[in-house]
Amino acid sequence: MMWKRINFFRSGEIEIMDFLEKHTKLTLHSMDNLVRIVSSDSNLEDYLKTIKKNEKKGDRICYKATRKAMEGAVSIAIINNLIKVIDDVDMLLDKILYLARESIRLKTSLNYKDKSVWIPIYENILHSNLIIRELNTMLEEVKSGYKTDHILKKRDRIEELEEEGDELKARALDIIYDRANEINDKTFILLRDFILTIDDLEDLCEDIANHIILIKYILES
C-alpha cells in the first residue's frame, strides 16, 4: 500500500515540489510544440513563440523555488540535491528552446527536409517526451507521499528509457554519418548537435530522477 500523505517534507519543501511540478508541465507543453515544429512546415514561428514564453515562465518558477530554498525553507541535509534538481529542471526548457530554434533553422534557412533523417529525429523527440512525462509523474508521486520503493521503480523506468534513447541517438547519428557526403558541412554540424542535445535532455531527466531519489533517502534516514 502507498502512502497518500508525506510526513518527511516541510511545508516549504512541498511548495518547492509544487514549483518543480509546474515547471515540468511547462516542459511537456514545450515538448508538444517542439514535436509540431519537427513534424510540420507551417505555423513554426507560432510554436516557437509558445516555447519562448514557457522558457521565461520556467525561469521565474525556478527563481522562486531557488529563493525559497535559500531562505531556509528546506532541510540543510537536502539543499544541495534540491538546488541541483531546480537547476537541471530549468535547463530542460533551455534545451527545448535551442532544439526548436535549430529545427526551424534547418527547415527554413538551410531548407533541409530529408525525411530519412527527420523521421529518426522525430522518433527521438517523441521518446524524450515520454521520459519527461515519467519524470513529471515521479514528481507528483513524491509530493503525494508515495513510498520510496515505488518512486525507485519510476527512477529505474526513466533510466531504462534513457538507455533506449541512447540507441535511438546512435541510429540517428549513423544515418547522418552515412549521408555525410550528401549534406553540407553547416547542416551536418547542426544535425549532429541537434541529436546530441536530445540526448542531453534525456540525461538531464535521469540526473533529476537520481537526485530526487537521494532526497527521499536522506529525508527517510
The tens digit of pLDDT for each residue in 19-42 reads 999 999 999 999 999 999 999 989
Positions in the chain whose pLDDT score sits under 70: 1-9, 221
- State the pLDDT at residue 5: 45
Q: Which CATH number fits domain 11-220: 1.10.760.10, 2.60.120.380, 1.20.58.220, 3.40.50.2300?
A: 1.20.58.220
Give kind and range of the element (H or E) at residue 15. helix 11-39
Residue with cell 527545448: 96
- Rounded CA separation 123/127 (Å): 6
CB atoms within 10 A of CB 142: 24
What is the domain partition of the chain in residue ranges?
Answer: 11-220
- State the pLDDT at residue 149: 87
Residue with cell 522525430: 122
pTM of the model: 0.92
Give kind and range of the element (H or E) at residue 162. helix 148-178
- State the pLDDT at residue 38: 94
- Rounded CA separation 215/219 (Å): 6
Contact 3, 146 (CB under 8 A): yes
C-alpha distances out from residue 21 to 110, 164, 185, Å: 37, 25, 40
